[in-house]
Chains A and B, each alone.
Chain A
Amino acid sequence: MSDKLSVNFAGVDLKNPIIPASGAFGYGREYENFYPLSTLGGISVKGTTGTKRNGNLPPRIAETPSGMLNSVGLQNPGIDHFIKIELPNLKTKDTVIIANIAGSTADEYREIAEKLENTDVDMIEVNISCPNVKAGGAAFGVTCEGAASITKIVRSVTKKPVMMKLSPNVTNIAEIAKAVEAEGADAVSLINTLLGMKIDIKTRRPILHNNVGGLSGPAVFPIAVRMVWQVSNAVKIPVCGMGGISRWQDVVEMMMAGAQVVQIGAALFSDPFAPVKIIEGLENYVSENHLNNLQDIVGTVIPW
């Protein structure tokens, strides 16, 4: 593999820009049964909260045209388990580790970020956009004040690069991005899932027990590209793009819109090898187009 896919993202060196998205990849253990995790640029691990959470009642998933809804509700074993059990394992995998954190309160975010400060995680992704929990989560991410306040708190307790994960369920995502940039975020990642609903017309019941859930998959890709483009035009900090990427061509498109790196989520469910195939596709793209580095295409869309 060449280093033509390598990238320095918010001060962190990744061998390529492909990162499995938080929630789709657990802590990596399952996918290691398919391929070595060192193939990947990084891993954004399952959203981790201050203490263990059981998550929402099932069903937690519903298929939709070109996509899916989920309402897992942040089931996870808690930050102490992550640091003690999962992180030491991940550390041996030769890939960048992005800890994804979520809380019900500002204090919970601070507590988790403090606990991560003296660990081996390379970056903290702050989830202020989970649509599936009653408290916290998206409530912070849908206003500039809320997003800024969580950024400020996390920033105040960590020197690690902080990436704020933004919600698309807002009027103007660029304004939220500017608000978190102003409070010292090192990067933004977008988009989290779009709030959706699916009803079983025979039973008149929503498929999801939570009634509503987050939409992801190819259906949301054009929205994600649009939002990445708007945000990268509005802020100076780098952008991690995600939402419906399933092929290398989608990555090229997302990077032209302004993303330096990308995350892959729902595509893993169709094809567990999606990240590996995408990396191979990007290698070919770089060599066929005689690029020195894939980063040369970032933000090169030529708008009308």
Chain B
Amino acid sequence: MKYTQGKYPILSKKTLAREIYDMTILCPEIAEIAKEGQFVNVKVNGFTLRRPISICSIDREKGTLRIVFEVRGEGTKEMSQLAEGELIDIVAPLGGRGFKVDQFETAVIIGGGIGTPPMLAVAEKFGEKGTVISGFRNAAAVILQEDFKSTGAETILCTDDGSAGKKGFVTDALKEVLARKKPDVIFACGPDVMLRRVIEIAKENNIKCQVSLEERMGCGVGACLVCACRTIRNGDEYYAHVCKDGPVFNAEEVLFDE
């Protein structure tokens, strides 16, 4: 594993929805080795901790990484002020385990809200063999639909209030999809409540499932042990660490709070 820390130019910056930003960063040595599901840790001026942001898409030919993030607090607010042409200080690629895509042919790829961006890199791997289900609160929060369509995947959009796509949750759409086809694997990123239900449905249908988790992070590399998440390891409960042991876990490893 090799980690790189450096300041890289922001080639483009767009606003995708209210408080959701899209940046393309020129960092060939990182793009070369980055994997689906990994993340970059962004330095923000005036803050002690970096902000871990998932990689949305990897273009090895152009040497670029794309990140899409939501303003959640003061740090991401400051980060959103970075402009096209400016440099962004990142440590990357981080995440000991990304999505393991290689051994599968067909996949259902699920993203909920701001958990949607990392699923684009996965969808790009599967192309027409992928089915993308993404869910958002309402039409105003919808992002990345054209990108998902351009991968060739069947795309299903859901919103909680029905203001765009189907009304309902991604898990309703997942059940409908599974009624007509059985993929080799399900990949998902989103809120815990969504992941928990996706895992249940995958288990009921006997389909392998990988989920990307989130937790407050410190070092981002596995040294400080703050980003603990409950897992099962060798039959015992174990606090794994999202940054190094994940952020992607096999469904059967993950434990959620009661």
Contacts and interface: CB of A to CB of B under 8 A. Distances in A.
Interface residues of A, number: 37
Contacts of B49: 61, 63, 68, 269-270
Interface in A16-68: 23-26, 29-31, 33-34, 46, 54-64, 66-68
A33 B4 CA distance: 8
A11 interface: no
Given A33-B2, A59-B216, A271-B5, A72 B48 contact: no
B193 interface: no
B199 to A, nearest CB: 19
A203 to B, nearest CB: 14
A136 interface: no
Contacts of A56: 228
A269 B224 contact: yes
B256 to A, nearest CB: 12
B91 A55 contact: no
Contact of A273 (B2, B5, B224): B5
A135 to B, nearest CB: 19
B222 interface: yes
A269 B225 contact: no
Nearest to B244: A30
B48 A59 contact: no
Contact of A55 (B75, B215, B223, B239): B239
A266 B48 contact: yes
Interface of B: 1-3, 5, 43, 47-50, 75, 91, 215-229, 237-239, 244
A304 B49 CA distance: 36
A123 to B, nearest CB: 20
Nearest to A63: B49
B233 to A, nearest CB: 11
A243 B225 CA distance: 19
Contact of A61 (B216, B221, B223): B216
Contacts of A33: 1-3, 221
Given A30-B219, A33-B221, A55-B239, A68 B5 contact: no
Contacts of A207: 216
B145 to A, nearest CB: 30
B75 A63 contact: yes
Given A33-B1, A72-B226, A75-B228, A62 B219 contact: no
A58 B216 contact: yes
B3 A270 contact: no
B96 to A, nearest CB: 10
A75 B223 contact: no
B223 A26 contact: yes
A268 interface: yes
Given A33-B221, A61-B216, A217-B48, 4 more contacts: A24-B219, A75-B225, A269-B49, A272-B219
B22 to A, nearest CB: 24
A131 interface: no
Nearest to B219: A269
A61 B218 contact: yes
A218 interface: yes
Contacts of A61: 49, 216-218, 224, 226-227
A189 interface: no
B223 A62 contact: no
A263 interface: no
Nearest to B73: A63
Contact of A272 (B5, B47, B48, B217): B5
A191 B223 CA distance: 20
A63 B237 CA distance: 28
A70 B221 CA distance: 16
Given A24-B223, A68-B218, A75-B228, A54 B50 contact: no
Nearest to A268: B219
B5 A34 contact: yes
Interface centre among A62, A63, A218 (most CB of B within 10 A): A63
Contact of A271 (B3, B43, B217, B227): B43
A26 B222 contact: yes
Contacts of A273: 5
